Amino acid sequence: MIERSRLDSGLRVVTESLPELRSVTIGAWVGSGARDEREHEWGASHFLEHLLFKGTQTRNAREIAEAIESIGGEMNAFTSHEQTVFYVRVPDSHFASSFDVLADVLWNPAFRPDEVESERRVILEEIGMRDDTPDDLVHDLFARAMFPDHPLGREVLGSEDSIAGMARDAIAAYHGAHYQPSNVVLAVAGNVEHGAVLDRVAASFPTRADARPARDCSGAPTPRPVAVVGRDTEQAHLVVGVRALSTTDPGRYALTVVNQAFGGGMSSRLFQEIRETRGLAYSVFSYHSGFEDDGYFAIYTGTANERVHETLEVIDAELARLVADGLDDREIERAKGHLVGSLAMSLETSGSRMRRIGRAEVVEGDVPSLDEVVARVEAVDAEAVAKMIDRVFRDAPRTLAVVGPHEAADFS
């Protein structure tokens, strides 16, 4: 059963009680990410994701880790452009003590100068690792070209210069401004009751009702057509895409069906044509990234450098065929079947249940039941698919990002 509460502080609490499980996952969804950072704060959200595990006023990093791992639990976090999420998954018998550890991490960071410097070095290594991984770097390069000079185009990690120059007090100030109860969704799933969660909130969460800084949702500039980072790599890594839908657009279910049929699996058009028929690539797929007010649809593949243009021609041809002919009924039904089946199988742990209800509450302000989500997918018909293809792909300017031994002039 899913229950929701909004407290006087503005904190939203959503729980899913699953008494058949023997675990509980607690997630704190902070509604700020990379797009909420000002120029001098670039990378602050991700920096905080690391720093909050380094120590609180009463616990050091080892004590935080031991408190969770000594009972068989796991604790982690991730940062996106619009959220930063901290979570613990533990045996249900340790719910209360683990909740208090997460609350301490979230609300009482120490920001000790030596720990800030230690984690600064870790993040700089993470940036270097990303830059040495071309199939990761190309997605950041694509986003930068899709949203040029805009917060949605900034790398979540920040840059070497921004991280190296970010002062301890600036990070603490960002935490003080954005880590407000009104900017947090607490999502809990597993063998726990809603009332027990509210009791722990009352015991360990702040009650202030301050608001975070307003998010700038001004429109993004026109995408750049080509972005290239030269690397001496064995393969060229490519991302081709167009602007698409926001996370709450009513057409998102139709786009999800289109994505699955076009490039979402081994039976998809892209996989069959590029890998199975032509042998141009080992990895090829499409995906949709949505934000509060915008989004994009993208295709990734990695191919031999001498076959880059042939691969791009095949992608262009498949996109043209999608616009001209759409999807047939069999493709639509097969895509819907995959989405419904994979949804059911993906929700077999308390962690996956927490992620579903947390994200839904943050993004949509509501948590539809599984039956409602399935019904929305099943309601996508040929007409909805045709309208979505026309809306997103017809005459849409494309952006190409390339990482490999190439220059922008190679794609003019």
Show which residues are catalytic: 49
Nearest to 332 by CA among 410, 396, 275, 387: 387
Q: Give CA–CA dist 210/207, Å, rounded.
A: 9
Beta carbons within 10 angstroms of residue 365's beta carbon: 11
Q: Are 297 and 288 in contact (CB under 8 A)?
A: yes
Contact 100, 58 (CB under 8 A): no
Residue 120 CA to residue 184 CA, distance in Å, equals 25
Burial of 400 (0-12, 13-18, 19+ CB in 10 A): buried
190 phi/psi in degrees, rounded to 5? 135, -160
The CA-CA-CA angle for residues 226, 146, 150, to 5°, reads 125
- Smallest Cα–Cα separation from 224: which of 147, 293, 295? 147
What's the angle, vertex CA 34, arms to CA 28 and CA 40, rounded to 5? Answer: 125
Kindly give the pairing relationship between strand 2-6 and strand 12-17: antiparallel
Task: Report which DSSP code applies to 211.
Answer: -
130 contacts 136 by C-beta, under 8 angstroms: yes
DSSP-assigned letters across all residues of 301-351: EEEEGGGHHHHHHHHHHHHHHHHHH---HHHHHHHHHHHHHHHHHHTSSHH
- Quick one: CA dihedral 210, 26, 123, 161, positive or negative? negative
CB 256 within 8 A of CB 327: no
